[in-house]
């Protein structure tokens, strides 16, 4: 409230000089008080300017008062009112110039100008100058009986307190900036800027502290504000562009508007023209990427991002190089110092009261460093996510492709390195774990089992981070859980010695070979033969095989999932093979819900059984 009243008081004071109809009160323009007449046609201009000022049309009021001043260049009230309009427009240098003109025309006796100058200096963060102007005002007040001083004691006291508090906060910000206490520096600077909203020094410190602490958006916001407070500078504008374009989410309005502002200031600026051409090229690639992602054209995404070619590939590598060239660790001079030193210094001293000599020579601040561009670039995260997701989808379609599998592992791992809880990154990690050699065979080894368990944990995390609503992630999780469950059960594929993609011919061939080795006469046992027969019964039957692949053991009696109607419809496919062999082992195959009997009587009518004799291995 104190600041609000301080802002309004010069305008209120100026309005007190107006009649109700907007015309000027008969205060002499002649500081001697002798009075004088306005030139013909001047009074209507002044009246119009007064009305504009009283209705808040400050820009128009400035133009009207300037027109009046041309006709009456010694009327200090016109300068005072124009200064008031400038203050309302926050054009402080112009306001200070007019207040100084008022003091010059009145032989330093129009003391309200000192009070308004104190307010401006405070807002600019020039607290020594603010104290000096306020002290001059108070000194004049103590030796004057003018009624203008009465009723302003509370206003002056509040201003004095604000100047003191602002100066203390400024000193605290400086200490925290030097001590590299960046979070504290940002907080304290925020308080100081409530008092000194136009301080280039304090706002620069806050921008540096925000950037050093990783708050790039706040740093860009402060730099953008500084670009309006300071004289136009292509260097400052390119700093803002690089930070916002490379380290803020796309599209960043500040990056594009900054380039436009730069070219508006200097249409021939080589740095700005180069950056604009560069941006157009990259943005064209990003637009193509969004189109491909929308179509779920995963091969097209890879062609655009990594495949290269004449029609604009390798977008990912182009972005990586652009990051390094513009905001990389070895190219910090492209952005730092945030505000050019000569620009900041000239701005800090340009408005200072020439009668105030601080005698202070500020030591250079410790340098700051840019955040890690690869970790903070949202657009790089987007590119990595697109690569990760594309490789996941393509590996789903072609699981035997080592190119897709290695791409999935590489880019999803890099994505998780930046965003440890990214859903696509977690899915890619889970699928990579499921595809490792230790788990591909079923996960029956200790290492394979642990990787399956890790895959389930990772996919569970992905499902949680998706809000438990992503069907694709849920499907993958169920599949991994089935694999884990199956790894703790019998692996019928391994018993037969075939992989999961084996066809019927391969399965029969493997069974024939394994049966010879499992036969008791060849060093096997009834148990091995029973296990082999059970494995064949499951894998050779499409329904049972499908259930087993889904994580269910169809031969587990506890699950009540036996095959209806007997173990092998139409009899065991290798019964004829065994009947054709002579030999010592008598055994039989007996159907019925997967049960088998060896060494007893079975097979044909009358329980004749089969005689097995292997003459060659």
Same domain for 230 and 324, yes or no, is yes
Report the 10 Å Cβ neighbour count for 582. 10
Question: Please, what are the averages of pLDDT over each run of 10 residues along the chain (617 residues)?
Answer: 43 50 40 54 96 97 98 96 97 97 95 96 96 94 68 89 98 98 98 98 98 97 96 95 94 82 93 93 94 97 82 86 96 96 75 68 89 96 98 95 96 98 98 82 63 96 97 96 84 90 94 90 87 93 90 76 42 46 42 39 36 41
- How far apart (Å, rounded) are the C-alpha atoms in residues 113 and 134? 10
245 lies in some domain: yes
- Mean pLDDT, the chain, as a whole number? 84
DSSP letters, 224-273, are HHHHHHSPP-HHHHHHHHHHHHHHSPSS-HHHHHHHHHHHHH-TT-HHHH
- How far apart (Å, rounded) are the C-alpha atoms in residues 380 and 402? 25
List the CATH number of the domain containing 601: 1.10.287.110
- How far apart (Å, rounded) are the C-alpha atoms in residues 413 and 395? 15
- How far apart (Å, rounded) are the C-alpha atoms in residues 241 and 260? 10
408 lies in some domain: yes
| Sign (positive or negative) of CA dihedral 33, 34, 38, 43 | positive
Same domain for 468 and 326, yes or no, is no
**pLDDT the model gives residue 553:** 84
Residue 39's Cα: distance from chain center in Å?
A: 63
List pLDDT tens digits, range 276-293.
Answer: 999 999 999 999 999 999
**pLDDT the model gives residue 357:** 63
List the CATH number of the domain containing 105: 1.25.40.10
Can you state the angle between helices 423-434 and 471-487, rounded to 10 degrees? 30
191 lies in some domain: no
Q: Are 494 and 441 in contact (CB under 8 A)?
A: yes
Q: Whose structure tokens read 């380290």?
A: 247
Helix (H, G, I), strand (E, B), or coil: what is residue 464? helix
Q: Whose structure tokens read 């389930």?
A: 456
461, 488, 515 - which closes a domain: 488
359 lies in some domain: no
**pLDDT the model gives residue 35:** 37
Same domain for 477 and 578, yes or no, is no
Q: What letters, b where the CB count within 10 A reaches 16 and e where it falls short, cover 597-612?
A: ebeeebbeeeeebbeb
Same domain for 484 and 512, yes or no, is no
327, 343, 374 - which closes a domain: 374
- How far apart (Å, rounded) are the C-alpha atoms in residues 56 and 441? 80
| Sign (positive or negative) of CA dihedral 287, 292, 294, 298 | negative
Task: Report which secondary-structure segment, H or E, holds 477.
Answer: helix 471-487
List the CATH number of the domain containing 400: 1.25.40
**pLDDT the model gives residue 334:** 95
- How far apart (Å, rounded) are the C-alpha atoms in residues 182 and 208? 8
- How far apart (Å, rounded) are the C-alpha atoms in residues 384 and 408? 10
Helix (H, G, I), strand (E, B), or coil: what is residue 75? coil
∠ CA 554-557-563, rounded to 5°? 45
Q: For residue 115, what are its two tokens?
A: 């009070």
Q: Is the peptide bond before 337 cis (omega within 30 degrees of 0)?
A: yes
Q: Are 153 and 112 in contact (CB under 8 A)?
A: no
Same domain for 120 and 68, yes or no, is yes
53 lies in some domain: yes
- How far apart (Å, rounded) are the C-alpha atoms in residues 130 and 121? 5
- Rg of the Cα trace of the chain? 42
> Could you tell me the pTM of the whole model?
0.76
Task: Tell which residue, 593, 537, 535, has the closest CA to residue 566.
Answer: 593
Q: Residues 6 or more apart from 115 whose CB is under 8 A from it? A: 10, 133, 134, 137, 152, 156, 159
617 lies in some domain: no
Number of domains the chain is built from: 4
Task: Report which secondary-structure segment, H or E, holds 610.
Answer: strand 610-612
Q: How would you classify the pairing of strands 610-612 and 585-587?
A: antiparallel
Can you state the angle between helices 378-397 and 315-327, rounded to 10 degrees? 160
The 8 Å CB, 24+ separation contacts for 402-410 are 405/432, 405/435, 407/302, 407/306, 408/432
For residue 76, the enclosing domain spans: 2-165
- How far apart (Å, rounded) are the C-alpha atoms in residues 165 and 172? 11
470, 488, 506 - which closes a domain: 488
Helix (H, G, I), strand (E, B), or coil: what is residue 353? coil
**Backbone phi, psi, residue 28, to 5°:** -65, 140
DSSP letters, 2-25, are HHHHHHHHHHHHHHHTB-TTSPBP
Same domain for 334 and 212, yes or no, is yes
193 lies in some domain: no
Same domain for 141 and 248, yes or no, is no
171 lies in some domain: no
């Amino acid at each position: 409230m104190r600041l609000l009243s301080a802002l309004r008081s010069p305008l209120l004071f100026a309005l007190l000089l107006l009649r109700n109809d907007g015309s000027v009160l008969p205060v002499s323009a002649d500081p001697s008080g002798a009075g004088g007449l306005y030139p013909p046609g001047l009074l209507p201009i002044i009246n119009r300017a007064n009305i504009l000022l009283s209705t808040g049309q400050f820009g128009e009021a400035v133009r009207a008062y300037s027109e009046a001043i041309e006709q009456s260049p010694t009327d200090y009230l016109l300068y005072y009112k124009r200064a008031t309009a400038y203050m309302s427009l926050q054009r402080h240098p112009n306001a200070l110039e007019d207040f100084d003109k008022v003091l010059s025309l009145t032989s330093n006796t129009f003391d309200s100008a000192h009070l308004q100058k104190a307010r401006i200096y405070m807002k600019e963060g020039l607290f020594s100058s603010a104290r000096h102007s306020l002290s001059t005002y108070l000194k004049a007040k103590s030796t004057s009986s003018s009624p203008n001083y009465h009723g302003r004691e509370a206003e002056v006291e509040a201003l004095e307190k604000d100047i003191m508090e602002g100066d203390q906060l400024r000193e605290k910000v400086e200490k925290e900036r030097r001590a590299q206490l960046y979070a504290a520096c940002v907080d304290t600077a925020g308080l100081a800027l409530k008092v000194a909203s136009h301080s280039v020094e304090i706002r620069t410190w806050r921008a540096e502290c925000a950037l050093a602490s990783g708050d790039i958006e706040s740093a860009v916001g402060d730099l953008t504000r500084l670009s309006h407070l300071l004289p136009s500078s292509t260097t400052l504008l390119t700093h803002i562009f690089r930070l916002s374009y490379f380290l803020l989410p796309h599209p960043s309005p500040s990056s594009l508007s900054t380039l436009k502002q730069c070219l508006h200031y200097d249409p021939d600026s080589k740095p700005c023209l180069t950056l604009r051409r560069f941006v157009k090229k990259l943005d064209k690639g990003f637009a193509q990427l969004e189109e491909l992602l929308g179509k779920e054209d995963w091969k097209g995404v890879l062609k655009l991002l990594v495949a290269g070619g004449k029609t604009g590939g390798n977008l990912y590598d182009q972005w990586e190089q652009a990051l390094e060239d513009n905001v990389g660790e070895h190219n910090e001079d492209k952005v730092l110092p945030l505000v050019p030193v000569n620009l900041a210094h000239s701005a800090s001293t340009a408005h200072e009261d020439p009668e105030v000599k601080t005698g202070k020579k500020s030591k250079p601040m410790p340098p700051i460093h840019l955040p890690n561009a690869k970790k903070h670039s949202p657009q790089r995260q987007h590119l990595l996510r697109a690569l990760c997701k594309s490789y996941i989808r393509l590996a789903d379609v072609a699981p035997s492709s080592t190119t897709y599998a290695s791409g999935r592992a590489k880019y999803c791992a890099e994505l998780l390195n930046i965003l440890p809880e990214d859903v696509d990154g977690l899915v890619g990690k889970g699928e990579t774990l499921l595809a490792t050699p230790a788990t591909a065979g079923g996960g029956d080894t200790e290492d394979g089992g642990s990787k399956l368990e890790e895959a389930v944990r990772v996919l569970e995390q992905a499902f949680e981070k998706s809000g438990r609503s992503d069907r694709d992630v849920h499907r993958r999780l169920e599949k991994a859980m089935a694999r884990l469950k199956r790894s703790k059960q019998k692996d019928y594929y391994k018993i037969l010695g075939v992989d999961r993609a084996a066809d019927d011919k391969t399965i029969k061939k493997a069974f024939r070979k394994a049966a010879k080795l499992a036969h008791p006469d060849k060093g096997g046992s009834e148990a091995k033969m029973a296990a082999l027969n059970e494995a064949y019964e499951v894998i050779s039957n499409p329904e049972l095989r499908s259930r087993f692949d889904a994580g269910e053991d169809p031969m587990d009696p506890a699950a009540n999932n036996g095959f209806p109607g007997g173990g092998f419809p139409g009899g065991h496919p290798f019964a004829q093979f065994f009947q054709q062999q002579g030999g010592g082992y008598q055994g039989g195959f007996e159907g019925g819900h997967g049960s088998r009997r060896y060494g007893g009587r079975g097979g044909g009518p009358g329980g004749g059984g089969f005689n097995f004799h292997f003459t060659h291995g």
